[in-house]
Copies of this chain bind each other. A is one copy, B any other.
Amino acid sequence: MAQVFLPKGTRDLMPAAMNRRLKVIEIVRRVFAQYGFEPLETPAFERIETLTGKSGGEDEKLMFRILKRGEAGKRGEVDAGLRYDLTVPLARMIAMNPGLPMPFKRSQIQPVWRADRPQRGRFREFYQCDVDTIGTPSLLADAECVAVVHDALNALGLTDFTIKLNHRAVLRALSVAIGATGEAEHALLVAMDKLEKIGRDGVAKELTSKDLSKAQIGQLWAFLDGEAIPGAEAAEAELQTVLSHAADLGVDLSRVKIDRTLARGQDYYTGPVFETVLNHSDFKGSISGGGRYDGLIGMFSGKQSIPAVGVSLGIEPIFMLMEEMGLMPDTATSTQVWVTLFSEETQSASLQAAAQLRAAGLCVQVSTRVGKLSKQFKDAHNRGVPWALVIGPDDIAAGGVSLKEMASGEQWAGSLSEAIARLT
């Protein structure tokens, strides 16, 4: 028998992980719905023309390609690829549905595929979790991105976070004001992004190597320390509007911080950008990021610009953090009661009891072993099921059932309805 493997960089999501993930998704979906973000799903693959239509970024290079069906496939012809994000499919959908009422607000929680080099905690198949508002320039939509992240993280119990906020036009004005335009602007953004990691000395060193003068670097520090950036007034005012709307929407502003170094990688952002990090955590990555990108969604619609703003929850790091922080420990099982089968004679009574427990809303697994209770208790224990129910001849004589709490080993006997009351 040949050995069997998973494809490189993929994994099975076993019940313990899945129970946690479904719970997280349920909480997040609820918050999204409370803000009017309606669920959308798009196909796993798109036409190759759709995926390569975007001004060929890194993502596209990592795309999995699918062979055309039939004879063409035998010649190696490709006509589709697995989606590598949820934004290109959204843009395609918007172009195909010109009659959609605007603003259109959608949430989308689906896997994407990227043929990245697999690393610890990074997979070639992983879930993305996006909300976007299409078709309105209103900064209320930007504020809602901040609010929805704020509410979702609170609902998940990940309460010690900071949402950083910046504006692409602030960065633009900053670059112009210190005379770092063209290639120098890119170098500036890249260097500033490392500020937390390498400190001002490190950034200064990097910028010096890119031919920025001491005076320019000094001016940068002044701007980062709060000096007004000429030409950034309108963008700064927009950020204040976003903050004011967010406060009205119930966002705790002590969790939100304007950060003039925040750029977010993608070139397509055009307005406010946001990113969320956990405070006092070993996890240094962001757990959410997004911004306004008015130029992208129109790419298939034949329009210059369709206003759009969205935010992505880093659902994979969130799954991981929820587990590591014990906020939602892996539950190997959702089963609450293991119904044992004492003997062939008592089996019917046990099955009927299982049906009544289920009717009361409990999750119940019935043993497929009959007799040898100690083995059945071990089955329950090994799976982490908290209670076992026994109906033996004594219980039948007494017209009742026995319950065993697996953690303590304590036993209890009484009527089935009393048992249900204990368990629910």
A355 & B103 in contact (Cβ 8 Å cutoff)? no
Q: Please, what's the 1-or-0 string for A363-381, where 1 marks a CB less than 8 Å from any CB in chain B?
A: 1111010000000000100
A364 & B35 in contact (Cβ 8 Å cutoff)? yes
In Å, the complex CA distance between A125 and B110 comes to: 14
Q: Which of A2-10, A220-228, A274-282, A410-418 lies at the interface with chain B?
A: A2-10
A212 within 8 A of B: no
The interface size bin for chain A is 35 or more
Q: Please, what's the 1-or-0 string for A10-24, where 1 marks a CB less than 8 Å from any CB in chain B?
A: 111111001100100
B13 & A40 in contact (Cβ 8 Å cutoff)? yes
Q: Please, what's the 1-or-0 string for A331-374, where 1 marks a CB less than 8 Å from any CB in chain B?
A: 00111000000000001100110110011011111101000000
Task: Report B-chain residues with C-beta under 8 Å of the C-beta of A42.
Answer: 12-13
In Å, the complex CA distance between A398 and B27 comes to: 36
Q: Which of A66-74, A164-172, A190-198, A401-409 lies at the interface with chain B?
A: A66-74
B43 & A44 in contact (Cβ 8 Å cutoff)? no
A423 within 8 A of B: no
Chain B nearest CB, measured from A184 CB (Å)? 35
A424 within 8 A of B: no
Q: Please, what's the 1-or-0 string for A138-164, where 1 marks a CB less than 8 Å from any CB in chain B?
A: 101100100000010000000000000
Q: Which of A92-100, A255-263, A318-326 lies at the interface with chain B?
A: A92-100
A38 & B66 in contact (Cβ 8 Å cutoff)? no
B76 & A69 in contact (Cβ 8 Å cutoff)? no
A interface list, Cβ under 8 A from B: 1-2, 4-7, 10-15, 18-19, 22, 29, 33-36, 38-47, 49-50, 64-67, 69, 73, 75-76, 78-80, 82, 92-93, 95-97, 101, 103, 105-106, 111, 113, 115, 125, 133, 136, 138, 140-141, 144, 151, 244-245, 248-250, 300-302, 333-335, 347-348, 351-352, 354-355, 358-359, 361-366, 368, 379, 382-383
Task: Report B-chain residues with C-beta under 8 Å of the C-beta of A351.
Answer: 140, 245, 248-249
B358 & A250 in contact (Cβ 8 Å cutoff)? yes
Known: A18-B39, A69-B115; 16 extra A-B contacts, CB below 8 A, are A1-B302, A2-B49, A4-B95, A5-B50, A10-B45, A12-B42, A15-B106, A18-B41, A19-B39, A33-B334, A36-B364, A44-B125, A64-B67, A67-B67, A101-B383, A248-B352
B382 & A7 in contact (Cβ 8 Å cutoff)? no
A13 & B41 in contact (Cβ 8 Å cutoff)? yes
Most chain B CB within 10 A, of A15, A50, A144, is at A15
Given contacts A5-B47, A67-B67, contact A93 B18 (CB under 8 A): no
Task: Report B-chain residues with C-beta under 8 Å of the C-beta of A101.
Answer: 379, 382-383
User: Please, which residue of chain B has its CB at the minimum distance from the CB of A67?
Assistant: B65
In Å, the complex CA distance between A366 and B37 comes to: 11
Main secondary structure, interface of A, reads: mixed
Given contacts A11-B43, A43-B6, contact A18 B34 (CB under 8 A): no
Task: Report B-chain residues with C-beta under 8 Å of the C-beta of A365.
Answer: 35-36, 105
In Å, the complex CA distance between A93 and B7 comes to: 12
In Å, the complex CA distance between A7 and B73 comes to: 15
Task: Report B-chain residues with C-beta under 8 Å of the C-beta of A76.
Answer: 67, 75-76
In Å, the complex CA distance between A6 and B46 comes to: 7
A368 & B1 in contact (Cβ 8 Å cutoff)? no
Task: Report B-chain residues with C-beta under 8 Å of the C-beta of A40.
Answer: 12-15, 18
Task: Report B-chain residues with C-beta under 8 Å of the C-beta of A358.
Answer: 34-35, 151, 250
User: Please, which residue of chain B has its CB at the minimum distance from the CB of A93?
Assistant: B12
